[in-house]
Amino acid sequence: MAHVTNPNAEALLDKELPCLNAGFVRLVDYMGGDEAIVQAARVSYGKGTKSVNEDRGLIRYLMRHLHTTPFEMVELKFHVKLPIFVARQWIRHRTANVNEYSGRYSVMKDEFYVPEHGAIHFQSIKNKQGRSGDEVPAELRGRVLDILTSSQTQMYREYEQMLESDIARELARINLPLSMYTEWYWKIDLHNLFHFLRLRIDPHAQYEIRVYGEAMAEITKAVAPMAWEAFEDYILKSERFSRLELAVISERMSHEGLTVESLTAKGLSKREAEEFIEKMGRIKPSGA
């Protein structure tokens, strides 16, 4: 199979998508797209895929049945500029290749994340690691911003003073705050990128990392649009149910009118409709 490029992805190469007050996400390079997923699957499955005679249908089948290996054939490389506290959340995803800007070798830049007024919230009572939706008075928001900016200015001034005294960069940097920006190159395959995005564009994710996730989602859609559609349908916007929850659902459900024809009329493919009916058959209605 010849090397394939995607015009929409090519248009995004080296384009900075702004994030927060001074950050960005930039697509540096990509390898493969929807075609690479299909190619890998057909090598692996051989004759078994002949009944799935269309690329979109095959990709949706793979996503629906969690056959993840073909998605690993696609890779994306990003250049990201982000606050250090966001980077520390991000690096928990250990399935990527990362090379970060080093404060041991280079002077850290005088750039800090300062939240917008609308991003300042009280601590949530229900969620120990999140923010509440309650409105913060303008005076208090202003005080928070003053504390952040004055501390950032002071710590960077002291950092410069140590550098001017020829203190080693690896020591001078240690008091710099988590709000300082860093940069890295981050390369990951599509399967693991989908896992990252599922968690990081979720409404429960911290706002700051969600901004980066949404920018990367736009890039991912351009690189592999059919794979993104399948991810959105079967993972991102789907729901999971426990055994006990399924028992509750079974008490209230009815199979009346559940036919392949009725389901295809709602947009499902014939194969999806058949699989759905089979799935629903495993959830026995009450009294069955």
The token pair that represents 13 in the structure block: 């190469």
Task: Give the DSSP per-residue string, 121-176.
Answer: -PBPSS-TTSB--PPPPHHHHHHHHHHHHHHHHHHHHHHHHHHHTT--HHHHGGG-
- Order of all β-strands in the sheet with 16-19: 16-19, 23-31, 75-83, 181-189, 97-100
SS3 59: helix
Q: If you search the block for the tokens 């299909």, which residue do you land on?
A: 38
pLDDT of 287: 47
Q: 83 forms bridges with which residues in the sheet?
A: 181
How is the chain split among helix, strand and coil, in percent rounded to 5? Answer: 50, 15, 35
The DSSP H or E segment spanning 28 is: strand 23-31
Instruction: In whole angstroms, give the CA distance from residue 276 to residue 190.
Output: 26
Instruction: In whole angstroms, give the CA distance from residue 44 to residue 39.
Output: 9
| Surface-to-core class of residue 163, CB atoms within 10 Å of its CB (0-12 exposed, 13-18 middle, 19+ buried) | middle
pLDDT in tens, 98-131: 999 999 999 999 999 999 999 999 998 887 778 8
pLDDT of 72: 97
pLDDT of 120: 93
Mean pLDDT by 10 residues, the chain (288 residues): 81 97 98 94 65 78 95 98 97 95 95 95 85 90 97 98 97 97 98 98 95 98 97 94 86 78 88 87 64
Residue 264 to residues 59, 60, 177, 230, 274, Cα–Cα distance (Å): 18, 15, 55, 17, 10
Q: If you search the block for the tokens 């001074």, which residue do you land on?
A: 22
The model carries a pTM of 0.89
Tally the residues of the chain: 288
The token pair that represents 71 in the structure block: 């998605």
pLDDT of 156: 98
Marked catalytic residue, from 60, 141, 173, 200: 200
The DSSP H or E segment spanning 9 is: helix 7-12
> Long-range contacts made by residues 249-252, C-beta under 8 angstroms, separation at least 24?
249/283, 250/283, 250/284, 250/285, 250/286, 251/285, 251/286, 252/286
pLDDT of 45: 60
Indicate if 200 belongs to the active site. Answer: yes
